[in-house]
Each structure stands twice: as C-alpha cells, then as structure tokens.
C-alpha cells in the first residue's frame, strides 16, 4: 500500500543515518524530518505479508496477527520508548530496530519532561533528548508494539474459504494514524475482479455447490441415472453487520483516512527513530496497554507470558493408554489422541489479567468436540503440556458478532 501523494510508499529507500538537531522558537531543540524508515535494510520478515487468524478469548471471537517466525524472534529484555509527558500528538521515540541486538517488541516507558514551549514532534530522536539535557524518568510500565513495515499486506479470510472459490484472501485495511490518506483496500480487492464491494459480499454470502463424495470409493457420488450429485454448502461465515456496514459505507471512497477508521482495521502506531518515521503494531485496536513484569536484571519474567490452548480428543474407548501419555502430534495410529481441529483459545483477552502477546502453546483434552470459547471452561488437570515454542501472536481485533463454522 502506498500514500495518495508525496513519496509514494513508506518503505522508500531513503539514506539517513542520524538526526541533526536544530532549534525552534525560543531555543527549543528540534530535529529535521529525514523521511520514512528504510525498511529494505531491516529483516525481510517484518515486511509481511501477514495473515490475521481466528482464536477465542474470554468467550469472544478475535483475530491474532500470525507474525511468526519473523517477529517471533524477540528479545525478552525490553527496549526503551521515550514519551513526551503531556504532549498530545507526539509520536513515541525508540532507539532500536529489528535486527539490532537490543531490539525487542516490548518497551519500558521512559517519560520525558519537554520544554515549556515544546510543540508535538519537534524532537524525533533520543540523541536530541540527551543533547538538550531533558529530564527522563524510567517507569515500571512495559508495553508491547512490534515494529512493522506499514506497506505490508494484511489479509483475513473472515472464515470464508475464499481460496476454494478461486479468490485471493480478503484484505484488511491498514490505518497509519498520521493523517495521511490510504487506498481503500476493499475497493481495490473488488476492482481486481471487476466487481463492487457490494457484489463481493453478496457472492461470499451465497451458498455454493460442492460434490457429494461417496465414502466407500472417495469419488463423487452419482444418482441412479449416473448423474453427479452436488450439495448446497454455505461458505461458513455470518458476517458481522458492523463490519459489512463499515465496508459498504466506505465503498465509494478511493482512499481511507484516520477519521474513517473502525475496530476492524489494522491500526498502526507511528514512532520516531533517529528522525526517521516508522510504525509499530500495538496489541489491539482498543489501545490496551500490556502489563508485564521484569526481574532485577530487566528480563521479562516467564509468568508475564500467556497461554493458548488447542483442544484434543481423549483416547478412543478401549484404549488402555492415558490420553496424556502420548505427545499430541498429528496421529498416525487411530488409537492416538487426535486434535479436534477447532480454533485456539487464548487464556485471556487484551485488557484482562493474564493477557500477553506472547503465548505458550498448550494442548488440553476435552471430552466434547464442541468448540470451547473461554479458557475458564477448560480443566487444567486435562492438560497435555506444551506443544510448541512460545509464539509471538498478539490479538489485534475483536470480531464481535461473527460466527465461524467448525474447523474454519
């Protein structure tokens, strides 16, 4: 995605190394604007594309950012983010980027006392803060915001198997929160098929014909006269009315502004790094700060991270083995515990105690194949233990009224 005007895309290759400070009114220190960050020299993984996947948390349907493995290589010692106290519109200032040894998607908030005549975004670098001798106070607040390329493509199938219909994944609208116009992602998506946004939603909400498979032969079933049989199948998603209305309301707009933003958009946070403008991805569009704890050495404690559960079926009747005795891997033996193939369940949603954008995957046995939507309904005694490495997968947006068919 690129801007409506100006330099084109945010990842334009601008060569800038440091920030030279000048002085604004009455001697207030001020950094020149050097342009956007040079994403071409950063790890390629932060440029996406990124897919928004479904999960449940606290009984509600969410989408999380599937950012591993690129953003999953995180440093558990938080970096520092510098915030000008009491200055509306000032972008936070960071001093480390992906690829740097000191980079982490977690940040300890450092409050900076600005000059009395300071205006938002006059200072854009830590160097100028230090050169000006401004008072800095490190707080106990740790937040999460992973640096990403604002031009990255974000997609979401919203539960509809669009690939089976011969379509590309649905786009997610990105909002930069800089006052700049961004191309309307849904309009561009519809245009590539020569359709309107209304026609896209109408098509995805229409049942499709799928072959009826003969369970004995594995081939398409036929009727008595040898004609192939089909069944009418709904794609599996009941669109959230608010999501549909947001897309339809913006359907006539070629560009989307900050004022058009909705809870269904991927909203980025602008930041400064050495007078270059970058962006990071907060946990959620609802602006909830992540509360983590660090030890005496500044390292994040493991209990600061959360859990995400995968439901597994118990051993089949007559199997003498304990269903927790075997590791929960895709079964090669019918007697092994098998995953139900449902959506994962986070231990907590953003804003709730225990939420973390980094989660330990854990398997848990449930006697019913029904989707569990709240981790509080899971029995810890039925845990099969860890089933993978910690995942960096922040919950990004809540899909309030949508429902997803089993297994989507």
Is 324 within a domain? no
| 363 compared with 130, residue with greater pLDDT | 130
Is 221 within a domain? yes
Whole-number percent of the chain with pLDDT over 70: 70
Q: What is the mean pLDDT of the chain?
A: 76
Is 56 within a domain? no
User: pLDDT value at position 162?
Assistant: 66
pLDDT class of 212 with cuts at 50, 70, 90: confident
What pTM was computed for the model? 0.77
SS (H, E, C) 44-96: HHHHCCEEEEEEEECCEEEEEEECCCCCCCCCCCCEEEEEECCCCCCCCEECC
The number of domains in the chain is 1
Is 137 within a domain? no
Domain of residue 250, residue span: 154-260
pLDDT digits (tens, 9 = 90+) for 83-125: 999 999 999 999 999 888 888 888 889 999 999 999 999 999 9
CB distance 30 to 22 below 8 Å: yes
pLDDT digits (tens, 9 = 90+) for 301-356: 555 688 999 888 775 443 433 444 343 333 334 344 445 567 899 999 888 888 88
| 123 compared with 388, residue with greater pLDDT | 123
Beta strand 106-112 with 136-147 is antiparallel
| Alpha-carbon distance values, 125 to 18, 44, 94, 104, 328 (Å) | 9, 24, 7, 18, 48
pLDDT digits (tens, 9 = 90+) for 18-42: 344 565 555 678 999 888 888 888 8
Is 162 within a domain? yes
Q: Residue 205: what are its φ and ψ, rounded to 5°? A: -95, 5
Is 229 within a domain? yes
Is 173 within a domain? yes
Is 231 within a domain? yes
């Amino acid at each position: 995605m690129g801007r409506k005007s100006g330099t084109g895309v945010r990842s334009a290759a601008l060569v800038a190394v440091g920030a030279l400070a000048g002085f604004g009114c009455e001697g207030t220190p001020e950094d020149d604007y050097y342009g956007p960050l040079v994403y071409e020299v950063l790890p390629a993984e932060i440029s996406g594309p990124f897919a928004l996947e479904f999960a449940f948390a606290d009984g509600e349907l969410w989408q999380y950012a599937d950012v591993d493995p690129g953003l999953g290589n995180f440093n558990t010692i938080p970096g520092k983010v510098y915030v000008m106290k009491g200055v509306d519109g000032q972008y936070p200032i960071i001093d480390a980027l992906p690829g740097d040894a000191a980079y982490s998607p977690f940040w300890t908030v450092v409050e900076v006392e600005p000059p009395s005549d300071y205006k938002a975004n006059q200072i854009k670098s830590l160097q100028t803060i230090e050169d000006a001798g401004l008072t800095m106070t490190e707080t106990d607040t740790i937040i999460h915001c992973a640096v990403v390329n604002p031009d990255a493509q974000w997609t979401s199938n919203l539960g509809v198997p669009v690939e089976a219909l011969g379509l590309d994944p649905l786009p997610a609208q990105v909002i930069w929160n800089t006052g700049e116009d961004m191309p309307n992602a849904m309009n561009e998506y519809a245009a590539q098929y020569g359709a309107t946004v209304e026609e896209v939603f109408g098509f995805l909400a229409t049942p499709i014909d799928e072959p009826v498979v003969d369970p004995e032969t594995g081939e398409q079933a036929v009727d008595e006269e040898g004609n192939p049989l089909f069944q009418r199948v709904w794609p599996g998603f009941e669109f959230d009315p608010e999501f549909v209305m947001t897309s339809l309301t913006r359907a006539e707009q070629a560009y989307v502004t900050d004022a058009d933003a909705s809870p269904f958009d991927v909203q980025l946070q602008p930041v400064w790094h050495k007078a270059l403008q970058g962006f990071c991805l907060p946990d959620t569009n609802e602006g909830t700060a992540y509360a983590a704890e660090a030890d005496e050495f500044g390292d994040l404690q493991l209990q600061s991270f959360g859990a995400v559960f995968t439901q597994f079926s118990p051993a089949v009747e007559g199997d003498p083995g304990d269903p927790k005795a075997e590791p929960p891997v895709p079964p090669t033996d019918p007697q092994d515990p098998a995953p139900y193939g449902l959506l994962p369940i986070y231990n907590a949603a953003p804003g709730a105690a225990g939420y973390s954008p980094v989660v330990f995957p854990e398997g848990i046995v449930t006697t019913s194949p029904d989707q569990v939507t709240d981790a509080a309904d899971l029995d810890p005694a039925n845990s099969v233990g860890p089933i993978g490495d910690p995942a960096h997968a922040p919950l990004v947006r809540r899909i309030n009224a949508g429902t997803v068919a089993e297994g989507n």
